[in-house]
Amino acid sequence: MARTSSSGSSRRDVLKLAGLATAAGFGVRPAFSQSPGHVVVVGGGFGGATAAKYLRRAGVDVTLIETNATFATCPFSNTVLGGINEIDAITHGYDGLAAHGVQVVPDTVTGINAANKSVSLQGGTAVSYDRLILSPGIDFKWGEIEGYDEAAAEVMPHAWKAGAQTELLRRQLIAMDDGGVVAIAAPGNPFRCPPGPYERASLIAHYLKTHKPASKVLILDSKDSFSKQGLFQAGWAELYGDMIEWVPFSSGGNVARVDPATMTVYTDFDTHVVNVANIIPAQRSNRLVDTADLANGGDWCPINQLTFESTVQPGIHILGDASIAGAMPKSGFSANAQAKVCAAAIAALLRGDEPPSPSFINTCYSLVGPDYGISVAAVYRLNAEGAIAGVEGAGGVSPGDANAEFRKMEAEYARGWYASITSDMFG
Amino acid sequence: MRALLISIFGMCMLATAAAADETAPANLANACAGCHGTDGKSPGQIPMIAGMAAADLAAELRQFKNDQKAATVMNRIAKGYTEAEIDAIANYFGGM
Amino acid sequence: MADGITRVAVPETAAKGEIIEIKALASHPMDNGFMFRDNGTRIPRWIIHRFEVDYNDELIFAADWHVAISANPYISFHTIATESGTINFRWFDDNGDIYTESAKITVV
């Protein structure tokens, strides 16, 4: 059978593959050799793509189901908003994974049948698995900010799933007149990419400083503190003067309501009429997990933090932003690190072995400007309670008193990190 | 082919042996790939680990851990590993 | 108070009988008395211990706060818009200071 890929597959190929995979559930194995089993991975982002690749490296049969033919990364999407990169530079396809022998199925999972160990696809077929990995990312809690729904997001983009929304926000920034106000509504914890809203403010300010220097960036925050706060605020003062204003929760920064028709953002106490509004709403795990009740009534999915297997449904592993992974932040780097540990655990479980004990790193780089990078890093292990916890004495943020050369080096390493992690996922 | 089979067998042995109480070398090393690329093959500005001799890599990690060599994030990260884990990581990459 | 900031939000107009939301925020460190400075001396307890709201001079909401309340206490509650008038807010802190805000509401 021909390997399918995102670019080369036809509907016919997909159906053929799905038929084979379903047959596998009845004991007829497709012609894979020596594999200890078949893993279906849902979602081709930082968690899913990495898991698919590393499972293949461990000799496991893998089917990756992903709605879109390409994946635009949230990391580095702020460089598109800042005019540093085009969207193509952060968009990746699945040919590399197909070359590793991953069966890439361009379809959307509509349901999970945990009892039958199969997922149903929008295309009408079902795919059976020995173990299932979900790396589905986030969904938004529409309506938590009054007036902010999917239609409002076409006027006031969230741009918190990269792609069309990123391009929409970029177009609005380009169209804005000099002297305009760009509002960014930052959500309460926990949410995808904790330093993200503040890197975004930085790189939007970089664009405005160059092209529209009388403009302002107004961050309306539902929190009183944020990731790498001291480093960001020092960098803002150094690079952008008073162009960026941060309004914390305790100064009335919490956005309660928006009116897209009048471009008005209402906080609990104030009214702001703005030119561009980037509303980043509160988040939860992707609603796909509800089809098997994997969030157990909450927003995020509880897992065994050794194997990432759901504590609600055996045989289903959940990675990345959707999972509750102890002290790890919801970041692309976390999902990539978790995926490799999960792949090793699943390969061991399928072979009847004990899953190896895990180790993780998370390093989040942020660009305050194109030549001004900052980072926060941590090393994680399982603690005695089985929860992922930071190793004491390790990690932390970039030094506050570092010189320009250090900041420039971290900006270079941020770009190097992006090249490396995307090759680790897709290459 | 024969060499490949032997190396796969060798890796399985390592993983099984480590499962008991210490962290598996592959799990330790794979975390490095997030910045240094798969198997330490960095395609960009991050230094390459692939091809380094185990002794050199171990020595450098110790220098980072003990702040004897300045870096950006590596001083912070290397402090998260024991002496034995540094050797395990170095041997994993050095043996590839 | 350190920052001297209190904020309130009351609808400017409401229909008679309508349930309205009232929000109030005070910038205050709410020092719990259990923390120490770098030099080892104790930071004394300094909190807002009581919050009151009057609607046309009638007490409609009150709360006693203790040391577990975090800095910058924010509170929102609902009441019924009965008549036009003034809503007065009072925060009482350990130093004997009282911070006040007031807002007008028109009920039609």
Q: Which residue of A has its CA nearest to C22?
A: A268
Same domain, A149 and A268: yes
In DSSP terms, which residues pair with A134 in a beta bridge?
A42, A318
Among the listed residues A141, A328, A145, A147, the one whose alpha carbon sits nearest the alpha carbon of residue A222:
A145
Lowest mean pLDDT among A15-19, A274-278, A331-335, C50-54: A15-19
Provide the pLDDT for residue B24: 87
Spatial separation of the C-alpha atoms in residues A368 and A410, rounded to whole Å: 11
pTM for the complete prediction?
0.87
Strands of A166-209 (E only): list them.
Answer: 181-186
Q: Is the CB of C107 inside 8 Å of chain A's CB atoms?
A: no
Q: DSSP string of B17-44?
A: HHTSSSPPHHHHHHHHHHHH-GGG--SS
Same domain, A117 and A213: no
How many inter-chain contacts (A to C, CB under 8 Å) are there?
24
Same domain, A381 and A418: yes
Contact criterion met (CB < 8 Å) for B72 and A410: yes
Phi-psi region of A180 (alpha: psi -120 to 50; beta: other; left: phi over 0): beta
Lowest mean pLDDT among A247-261, A319-333, B12-26: B12-26
- Assess if residue A353 is contained within a domain: yes
Please report all neighbours of B, defined by 3+ CB atom pairs within 8 A.
Answer: A
- Assess if residue A92 is contained within a domain: yes
Mutation target to probe the A interface, by most A beta carbons within 10 A, among B77, B81, B86, B89 is B77
Structure tokens at B9: 């067998």
Provide the pLDDT for residue A34: 79
* CB contacts, 8 Å: A372 with chain B: none
Q: C6-107 is classed in which CATH architecture? A: Sandwich (2.60)
CA distance A345 to chain B (A): 10
Among the listed residues A81, A122, A96, A51, the one whose alpha carbon sits nearest the alpha carbon of residue A319:
A51
* CB contacts, 8 Å: C7 with chain A: 252, 268-269
Contact criterion met (CB < 8 Å) for C71 and A251: no
Helix/strand/coil for A334: helix
Contact criterion met (CB < 8 Å) for A381 and B23: yes
Q: What are phi and psi of C96, to 5 degrees?
A: 90, 0
For chain B, give every domain's residue range.
22-94
- Assess if residue A161 is contained within a domain: yes
Res A2 pLDDT > 70: no
Same domain, A162 and A257: yes
Same domain, A268 and A185: yes
Structure tokens at C49: 């211990």
Which helix H or strand E contains A353, and what residues bound it?
none
Same domain, A87 and A67: yes
Tell me what the mean pLDDT of segment A27-40 comes to.
Answer: 69
Provide the pLDDT for residue A24: 39
Q: List pLDDT tens digits, range A364-376.
A: 999 999 999 999 9
CA distance A248 to chain B (A): 29
Match 């120490």 to its residue by tokens: C36
Asked if residues A293 and A316 have their Cβ atoms less than 8 Å apart, the reply is no
Tell me what the mean pLDDT of segment A145-159 comes to.
Answer: 98
Sign, CA torsion A57/A62/A65/A70:
positive
Residue B42: how many other CB atoms lie within 10 Å: 21
Provide the pLDDT for residue A33: 56
Contact criterion met (CB < 8 Å) for C72 and A250: yes
Same domain, A299 and A198: no
What is the ipTM metric for this complex?
0.87
Q: Which amino acid is at A142?
A: W
- Assess if residue A360 is contained within a domain: yes
Structure tokens at A357: 């004990």
Residue B40: how many other CB atoms lie within 10 Å: 24
Residue A150, class by beta-carbon neighbours within 10 Å (0-12 exposed, 13-18 middle, 19+ buried)? exposed
Same domain, A245 and A356: no
Structure tokens at A34: 């020596």
* Residue B70, CB-side half-sphere exposure with 13 Å CA sphere: 6
Lowest mean pLDDT among A21-35, A48-62, C2-16, C52-66: A21-35
- Give the structural domain span for A152: 141-279
Q: Which residue of A has its CA nearest to C11?
A: A269
Among the listed residues A165, A218, A201, the one whose alpha carbon sits nearest the alpha carbon of residue A369:
A201
Residues 6 or more apart whose CB falls under 8 angstroms from that of A141 comprise: A281, A282, A283, A284, A299
- Assess if residue A147 is contained within a domain: yes
Distances, alpha carbon C58 to alpha carbons A140, A303, A403, C107, C108, in Å = 42, 52, 60, 16, 20
Strands of A151-222 (E only): list them.
Answer: 181-186, 216-221
Same domain, A290 and A371: yes
Lowest mean pLDDT among A400-414, B9-23, C9-23: B9-23
Provide the pLDDT for residue A250: 87
User: Which positions in chain A have a beta carbon within 8 angstroms of at least one beta carbon in chain C?
Assistant: 224, 249-252, 268-269
Contact criterion met (CB < 8 Å) for A250 and C27: yes
Contact criterion met (CB < 8 Å) for B33 and A417: no
Asked if residues A1 and A17 have their Cβ atoms less than 8 Å apart, the reply is yes
Spatial separation of the C-alpha atoms in residues B5 and A416, rounded to whole Å: 33
In DSSP terms, which residues pair with A377 in a beta bridge?
A363, A396
* Residue A310, CB-side half-sphere exposure with 13 Å CA sphere: 23
Provide the pLDDT for residue C4: 57
Tell me what the mean pLDDT of segment A210-230 comes to.
Answer: 97
Per DSSP, helices labelled H in B1-96 are: 2-18, 25-36, 54-65, 74-78, 83-94
Examine the fold and report which residue of A279, A297, A315 is the final residue of a domain before the chain moves on: A279
For chain C, give every domain's residue range.
6-107
Structure tokens at A11: 């509907």
Q: List pLDDT tens digits, range C20-67.
A: 999 999 989 999 999 999 899 999 999 999 999 999 999 999 999 999
Provide the pLDDT for residue A305: 97
Distances, alpha carbon A184 to alpha carbons A216, A224, B32, in Å = 11, 15, 34
Q: Which residues of C29-38 are buried (b: 16+ CB within 10 A; e: fewer)?
A: bbbbeeeeee
* CB contacts, 8 Å: A268 with chain C: 7, 9, 23, 25, 74, 76
Q: Is the CB of B50 inside 8 Å of chain A's CB atoms?
A: no
Q: List pLDDT tens digits, range B55-67.
A: 999 999 999 999 9
Q: List pLDDT tens digits, range B37-94.
A: 999 999 999 999 999 999 999 999 999 999 999 999 999 999 999 999 999 999 999 9
- Assess if residue A4 is contained within a domain: no
Spatial separation of the C-alpha atoms in residues A279 and C58, rounded to whole Å: 39
Sign, CA torsion B82/B87/B90/B96:
negative
Per DSSP, helices labelled H in A146-186 are: 164-175
Q: Which residue of A has its CA nearest to B15?
A: A356
* CB contacts, 8 Å: B79 with chain A: 379, 391, 393-395
Q: DSSP string of chain C?
A: --S--EEEE--SEE-TT-EEEEEEEE----B-S--B-TTSPBPPPB-EEEEEEEETTEEEEEEE--TTSPSS-EEEEEEE--SSEEEEEEEEETTS-EEEEEEEEEE-
Contact criterion met (CB < 8 Å) for A395 and B28: no
CATH number reported for the structural domain that contains residue A171 in this entry: 3.50.50.60
* CB contacts, 8 Å: A348 with chain B: 15, 19
CA distance A249 to chain C (A): 9
CATH number of the B22-94 domain: 1.10.760.10
* CB contacts, 8 Å: C72 with chain A: 224, 249-250
Q: List pLDDT tens digits, range A4-15.
A: 344 434 443 444
Same domain, A185 and A242: yes
Domain count for chain A: 2
